[in-house]
Amino acid sequence: MHRLVMAFINSMRALRHLAKHEQAVQQELILFFLSIPLAAVVAPTVLSFLLLTGSVLFLIMIEVLNTGIEAACDAVSLDFHREIQIAKDCGSLAVLISIILVATVWFYTLWTVFFS
Instruction: List, for residues 2-48, the tens digit of each pLDDT value.
Output: 999 999 999 999 999 999 999 999 999 999 999 999 999 999 999 99
Q: What is the pLDDT of residue 73?
A: 97
Calpha distance 107→101 (Å, rounded) = 10
Tell whether the model's pLDDT for residue 100 goes beyond 90.
yes
What is 23-115's CATH number? Answer: 1.10.287.3610
Which of 39, 49, 52, 63 is the catalytic position?
63
63 given a catalytic annotation: yes
Tell whether the model's pLDDT for residue 116 goes beyond 90.
no
Q: What is the pLDDT of residues 40-96, one digit of tens each?
A: 999 999 999 999 999 999 999 999 999 999 999 999 999 999 999 999 999 999 999
Chain centroid offset of residue 108 CA? 20
* Domain coordinates in residue numbering, the chain: 23-115
**Residue ranges of the binding site for a divalent metal cation:** 22, 70
Inter-helix orientation angle 2-21/23-42, to 10°: 100
Q: What is the pLDDT of residue 102?
A: 98
pTM for the model stands at 0.94
**Residue ranges of the binding site for substrate:** 3, 24-28, 63, 92, 106-111
